[in-house]
Chains A and B, each alone.
Chain A
């Protein structure tokens, strides 16, 4: 019971922290941002902000798990829009990560697979 209350208070504090850290324009000045004005669908601005704050925390966690320097995480989060944070929060581990032509292992794997299908090789049993 007590733990839940503390947890709730903690989450609320985090949300408030994110709100003010992420949306200086909307939260502190009462302006409607140009992006919000452009957004066609009707939605509650404050709900969008809360969601963005939660997504931001999610992306922060995933960045740390994926080995980003903790000192750089804040800076990297700072350039992302609410929509981008939402996409990353949902798919950070599946979205295309451009690596480059040096990853030869993968290409070799494809070649091997094709050769395997042609009965030229017999590396993968059970295909």
Chain B
């Protein structure tokens, strides 16, 4: 009999929270009642909770799609599931901004209160035998002490708070909000937001990235990266004058930004302002502590300026054009 008790204790530890700190993630000092009842529901087919949950959050961000359409985009037959990175990539391809939340239950609840359903990864098993599952959190009931989920084949699943927190913690608190580029998440973190916008830019979603940078530059006008990114997306759309203005704004905030010198020079060159571009590149190369990559980019721009045929300079000096 004593042996049974030992084994029972061992089994419970194994199944529950072996070696993990006690729960400190208490939602809200005051009881919260929030439920986004209008969030649609797509019951999952077979192993396809990824496409179903993704469809739910994309719909809420104004994208018309369904799990059937998304399955070939995110489902990995050989893994019987979907990877987080592929869900994020699919959000970008649908011209929305994937904003990953900080790993904090308070942050998650604030998104709900602001009207954003939250896509989460859960581990329904244990660390050694993981059962990965995507669900969409649409509410929290302080009275019932439960989270409200669109999950699997259940339209309105009530999950006990502590159980939800355990399954979510075992998936490293991964949570994602899907946003139209005009909207910010609740209590947005500028670094997270701008990083997400930069990822839209680097994956070629230029127009969506530009709209996100506009949103960012309005909300955080003191952030260099917002203006810099705006400049890049204007440049890539062939709007060189607008690009130039945005880069100048970035340089006003951060005069020692070598990358902004390079890109401003490119925008000037694209407008035929060879001399002005040359001066900006010179100034950029004269800065201290340039990373090798940026120096390389500046040198390439310099070479390009030299190659560029001078055709009737119609621009003023580098620092004061426009």
Contact = CB atoms under 8 A, between A and B. Distances in A.
Interface string A69-105: 1001001101111101001100011011111111100
A33 B213 CA distance: 13
Given A68-B77, A99-B131, A118-B7, 5 more contacts: A37-B228, A66-B78, A100-B152, A101-B153, A102-B46
Contacts of B53: 98
Interface string B129-160: 11111100000000000000001110000000
Contacts of B199: 35, 81
Interface in B1-26: 4, 7-8, 10-11, 14-15
Contacts of A84: 85, 88-89
A38 B85 contact: no
B301 A30 contact: yes
A33 B78 contact: no
Interface of B: 4, 7-8, 10-11, 14-15, 44, 46-50, 53, 72-74, 76-86, 88-93, 121, 123-126, 129-134, 151-153, 171, 194-195, 197-199, 201-204, 225, 228-229, 232, 235-236, 257, 259-260, 262-263, 266, 291-294, 296-297, 300-301, 304
Given A42-B293, A100-B134, A76 B86 contact: yes
A100 B48 contact: yes
28 contacts: A30-B297, A31-B236, A37-B294, A38-B195, A42-B293, A43-B293, A66-B77, A66-B79, A76-B74, A76-B89, A79-B88, A79-B93, A80-B203, A81-B202, A84-B88, A88-B85, A95-B84, A96-B132, A98-B132, A99-B79, A99-B132, A100-B44, A100-B81, A106-B125, A110-B129, A117-B14, A118-B4, A119-B7
A106 B81 contact: no
Contacts of B85: 80, 84, 87-88, 95
Contacts of A98: 49-50, 53, 81-84, 121, 132-134
B269 to A, nearest CB: 9
Which 3 A-B residue pairs are closest in the complex by CB-CB distance?
Answer: A79-B89, A97-B81, A66-B78
Given A84-B88, A96-B132, A107-B124, A79 B203 contact: yes
A36 interface: yes
A95 B7 CA distance: 31
Contacts of B77: 66-68
Contact of A117 (B11, B84, B125): B11
Nearest to A114: B11
Contacts of B262: 30-32
B202 A110 contact: no
Contacts of A54: none
Give the bracket for the number of chain A residues in contact with chain B: 35 or more
Contact of B228 (A34, A93, A107): A34
A32 B263 contact: yes
Interface string A10-23: 00000000000001
Nearest to B263: A31
B80 A97 contact: yes
A44 interface: yes
A123 interface: no
A101 B198 contact: no
Nearest to B191: A38
Question: By CB atoms of chain A within 10 A, which of B83, B260, B304 has the most?
Answer: B83
A35 B202 contact: yes
A35 B89 contact: no
A95 B82 CA distance: 10
B121 A38 contact: no
Contacts of A9: none
Contacts of A78: 89, 93, 203-204
Contact of B47 (A35, A63, A75, A100): A100
Nearest to B257: A37
A98 B50 CA distance: 6
Contacts of B131: 99, 101, 103, 106-107
